[in-house]
Amino acid sequence: MSLIITGASGHLGRRTAELLLDTEGVDAADVVLVTRTPSRLDDLAARGAEVRRGDFSEPSSLPGAFAGATRVLIVSTDVVGERVPGHEAAIAAARDAGATLIAYTSIPNPVPENPAAVAADHRATEEALRASSVAWTFLRNALYAEYRIPEARAAAASGTFHHNMGAGRTAYVSREDCAAAAAAVLAGGDEHANKAYDITGPELLGGADLARLYGAQEAPVDDEAFVAGLVAAGLPEAAARLLASFGQAIREGYLDQRSGDVEALTGRAPRRVADVLAAAGVEAAA
Ligand SMILES: NC(=O)c1ccc[n+]([C@@H]2O[C@H](COP(=O)([O-])OP(=O)(O)OC[C@H]3O[C@@H](n4cnc5c(N)ncnc54)[C@H](OP(=O)(O)O)[C@@H]3O)[C@@H](O)[C@H]2O)c1
């Protein structure tokens, strides 16, 4: 049996691998870690995992990367707008290797109307999985709570929290909880076949809630003003527009899911944004 994690040297892939190796009943010899840079995983190889090179944009690397697959986690890559062919190549290679389940890190509610700029890629990849003839699990990860850390620091420093989420709310989730949920699916069995899980934090937070946590004044702005503010602060415009699309998706109610799936999968309540900020040394006000 092989439990395979792709993108295993990224933040989420690595943490999932560590938690899988920590899981009682999982034999390290069954854990296969696929990455573009195997040398970054020497420590996990020393724990008994097999590390293989695999790059979704190099199809010839994939049969070897997925050989012997049983259950696979495909971590979505970070090239937004250009990643679907790579995801499809990985799905095909995992299927050809005999995988019985493929889990994929998606986004909640990837419907065509969702204005989040990443939604189309995730929807297309979910469709490829549904069409693959292999059982799938969608790990629809909410927006990361960790991304609130620099936002909180900037808001605390300036005293103002600018956002374009209007009166919308979303349940930010810690990467740690995303990793724990993914490890649980890999270590589990058929019960996860053809299930879509919303991997969310425990509380829906809006702009006023975040401003309170950051100890800053809330300043709602429209999308163009939000982008202009980020660009003025030094962010490339494409990145600013990506972030603005998340605010728009929250404002329009596309990301207002809060589920019990993290606790059901991991047996542990998900962390709050306040917990993630405190762990990073950002003093939360509430
Ligand atoms: N929910 C959210 O708020 C949120 C935020 C940011 C990103 N994401 C998504 O969640 C994913 C995991 O998050 P993260 O924090 O771990 O991101 P990260 O640390 O930036 O990792 C990027 C990942 O993409 C993989 N990758 C890039 N190009 C690849 C290729 N050609 N072939 C195979 N893998 C490739 C990397 O694998 P190797 O380097 O090991 O090859 C790595 O696992 C991201 O890639 C992105 O799709 C979600």
- How many angstroms separate the alpha carbon of residue 105 from the centre of ligand 1? 10
Which amino acids bring their CB within 6 angstroms of ligand 1? 6-13, 35-37, 55-57, 75-78, 86, 105, 141, 143-144, 147, 175
pLDDT in the model for residue 32 = 98
In angstroms, the CA 170 to CA 25 distance is: 35
**Ligand 1 pocket test, candidate residues 75, 104, 122, most atoms within 8 A of CB:** 75
pLDDT in the model for residue 189 = 85
- How many angstroms separate the alpha carbon of residue 73 from the centre of ligand 1? 12
pLDDT in the model for residue 90 = 98
Amino acid at position 196, single letter: A
- How many angstroms separate the alpha carbon of residue 202 from the centre of ligand 1? 24
**Ligand 1 pocket test, candidate residues 78, 80, 109, most atoms within 8 A of CB:** 78
141, HSE (Cβ side, Cα atoms, 13 Å): 23
The CA distances from residue 266 to 3, 148, 254, 274, in Å, are 18, 23, 25, 20
- How many angstroms separate the alpha carbon of residue 34 from the centre of ligand 1? 12
In angstroms, the CA 207 to CA 218 distance is: 7
pLDDT in the model for residue 140 = 98
What count of other Cβ atoms lies within 10 Å of the Cβ of residue 201?
26
- How many angstroms separate the alpha carbon of residue 36 from the centre of ligand 1? 11
In angstroms, the CA 99 to CA 93 distance is: 9
Cβ pair 136, 191 in contact under 8 A: no
Which protein residue's CA is at the shortest distance from atom 34 of ligand 1? 7
pLDDT in the model for residue 285 = 57
What proportions of the chain, in percent to the nearest 5, are helix, strand and coil? 45, 15, 35
Torsion angle of alpha carbons 105, 109, 114, 120, nearest 10°?
Answer: 40
pLDDT tens digits in sequence order for the chain, 286 residues long: 999 999 999 999 999 999 999 999 999 999 999 999 999 999 999 999 999 999 999 999 999 999 999 999 999 999 999 999 999 999 999 999 999 999 999 999 999 999 999 999 999 999 999 999 999 999 999 999 999 999 999 999 999 999 999 999 999 999 999 999 999 999 998 999 999 999 999 999 999 999 999 999 999 999 999 999 999 999 999 999 999 999 999 999 999 999 999 999 999 999 999 999 999 999 765 4
**Ligand 1 pocket test, candidate residues 32, 40, 77, most atoms within 8 A of CB:** 77
Which protein residue's CA is at the shortest distance from atom 28 of ligand 1? 77
- How many angstroms separate the alpha carbon of residue 10 from the centre of ligand 1? 6
Angle between helices 11-22 and 175-187 (to 10 degrees): 50
